[in-house]
Amino acid sequence: MDYRHKTVLVTGGTGSFGNFVVRRLLNAGVREVRVLSRDEKKQYDMRVFYQGRKDLTFVIGDIRNREVVDEAMQGIDIVFHAAALKQVPTCEQHPMEAVRTNVLGAENLVECAVRQRVETFVMISTDKAVKPVNVMGMTKALQERIVLKGNLSRANKGTRLCCVRYGNVLRSRGSVVPFFRRQLALGQTLTITDERMTRFLLTLNEAIDLVLYAAEHTQGGEIFVRKALAAKVTDIAQVLAAEAGRPFAYKVIGILPGEKLHEILVSEEELVRGRDYGDYYVVQPWWSTDRYQEIEAEFASGDHLTGTDEVQRMLALADREFEIMEMADGEFAKF
């Protein structure tokens, strides 16, 4: 897609994904990137880093506030919706806050995008939205339905809305990698909730590739899924311990509230509507009458495991991505 004549809104644009996609869009010559977030300090850091570029603007506010959303959406062609409460423990402890942001906030954005006739709306979802067992996953599953249902709104005059799903982004805020590295740096024993636990892994640039692919190819109503490798959490811990020059030792503390042993990116109920596009699966809208059945089985992390060598390679790649993005004082990579 040619972004030179596009104005793009990135909600949650000061987070890990937001920082990387803003850089990618600016490098692509976008007409304007507009960042909507609640974090004044992170917006200030980005403004300083980009030295007052005219093609990067900021709106302070919350997606729960319709007036803020309406202001931020003025003149927008494409929306990348990344703002959310994403931490499982936080959502478990404060379920209504998760509902207000992940569900009602998404509803505000969808209604505004349709009303203002935005061209394309891409919502960032998660593997936790598939057969959810925690509040975060449940609210993201509802968010998916709200976004996709926007395609059927009587008020919709051409806005195409879709979702993307992916698993754990290496080194992003709240992921297991910085958590383990922090424990190792402090000389603590690594804590693992269950030795059987697996997670999908991908880098931030792979996540951005998925989002940009969805924006270019959506017809409205699809869920785009990046085919991802998965690893045992114990293998991730082993690689990080070796990296730190520490003996590999851990203690099992038991599964935390809202955790699953294995995550799922495509459910068996979605298989009949799934198409295989090489690096991606695309789940067609639930209202579609077409049947493809190009995905053979439910895409679960426990069935697509890789080894420690691949985990080490992916971690090195993720570290390199963050080094490129890092500010001189290191703040940019901390998010």
Q: Distance between CA 81 and CA 121 in Å, rounded?
A: 7
Q: Is 149 in the active site?
A: no
Q: Which pair of structure tokens corresponds to residue 45?
A: 């850091």
Please name the amino acid found at residue 290: D
Tell me what percent of the chain is helix, strand and coil, each rounded to the nearest 5: 40, 20, 40
Those residues with Cβ within 8 angstroms of residue 178's Cβ, 6 or more apart along the chain or in another chain? 171
Q: Distance between CA 16 and CA 42 in Å, rounded?
A: 11
**Helix ranges restricted to H, the chain:** 16-27, 40-49, 66-72, 88-93, 95-98, 105-115, 135-149, 176-185, 204-217, 233-243, 308-325
Give yes or no for a contact between 10 and 34, defined as CB atoms under 8 angstroms apart.
yes
Q: From residue 231, how far is each of 218, 234, 251 by CA, in Å?
A: 30, 8, 18
Q: Distance between CA 34 and CA 56 in Å, rounded?
A: 6
Active-site residue among 6, 42, 86, 128? 128
> Which residues are designated catalytic?
128
